[in-house]
Amino acid sequence: MYKIAMDNLSALFQKIAESNELYLPIENCGQVNYGVWSEDADVNIEALKTVKSPKDAFFPQSENLYRCDKEEKKISITPAQLKDQNFVVFGMKACDIQGVEVLDKVFLSDPVDTFYAARREHGTIVALACNEPEETCFCKVFGIDCSDPKADVATWIVDGELCWKALTEKGEALTDAVKDLLTDDSAADAKVEEKKAEIKDIVEKLPYMGLSLEGWGSEVVDEKFDERFNSPVWNDLYKPCLACGTCTFVCPTCQCYDIKDYDTGHGVERYRCWDSCMYSDFTMMAHGNNRNSQMQRFRQRFMHKLVYYPINNDGMYSCVGCGRCVEKCPQSLNIVKVIKAFENQGGEK
Partner 1 sequence: MQELIARAKELLADGTVARVIGWKAGDLPYNPEPAYFEKEEDFDDFVYNSFCGANLSKLMIEACKLEGKTLVCLKPCDTYSFNQLLTEHRVDRDKAYIIGVGCKGKLDIERIKKQGIKGIKSIKGAEITDDAETLTIDTLYGEKTCAFKDAMLERCHVCKGKEHKIYDEIIGESKDTKDAERFAEVEKIEAMSPEEKFAFFQKELSKCIRCNACRNACPACSCRKCVFDSTKFDSQQKANVDSFEEKMFHIIRAFHVAGRCTDCGECSRVCPQGIPLHLFNRKFIKDIDELYGEYQAGEEVVERGPLTSYTFEDAEPGIVAERG
According to CB under 8 A, which one of 5, 9, 14, 33 is a site residue for partner 1? 33
State how far Cα 51 lies from the chain centre. Answer: 11
According to CB under 8 A, which one of 42, 121, 132, 159 is a site residue for partner 1? 132
- Should residue 209 be labelled a site residue for partner 1 when binding is judged by CB under 8 A? no
Could you tell me which stretch among 152-160, 186-194, 223-231, 267-275 binds partner 1 (CB under 8 A)?
267-275
User: Which residue type sits at 164?
Assistant: W
Supply the angle between the helices 222-229 and 294-303 in degrees, to the nearest 10. Answer: 140
State how far Cα 332 lies from the chain centre. Answer: 20
According to CB under 8 A, which one of 74, 205, 266, 287 is a site residue for partner 1? 205
- Contact status, residue 163 vs residue 131, Cβ threshold 8 Å: no
Dihedral over Cα of 195, 201, 207, 211: its sign: positive
Find the helix or strand (DSSP H, E) in which 328 lies.
Answer: helix 324-328
According to CB under 8 A, which one of 48, 130, 144, 254 is a site residue for partner 1? 48
- Should residue 253 be labelled a site residue for partner 1 when binding is judged by CB under 8 A? no
As measured in angstroms, the least distance from the Cβ of 245 to partner 1 is 4
Alpha-carbon distance 124 to 95, whole Å? 16
Q: How far is CA 137 from CA 58, 95, 211, 281, in A?
A: 23, 9, 11, 31
As measured in angstroms, the least distance from the Cβ of 37 to partner 1 is 16
As measured in angstroms, the least distance from the Cβ of 256 to partner 1 is 10
Q: Which residues bind partner 1 (CB under 8 A)?
A: 28-31, 33, 48, 51-52, 61-62, 132-136, 202, 205-207, 236, 239-240, 242-246, 248-250, 258, 260, 262-263, 271, 273-276, 279-281, 284, 326, 328, 330-333, 336-337, 340
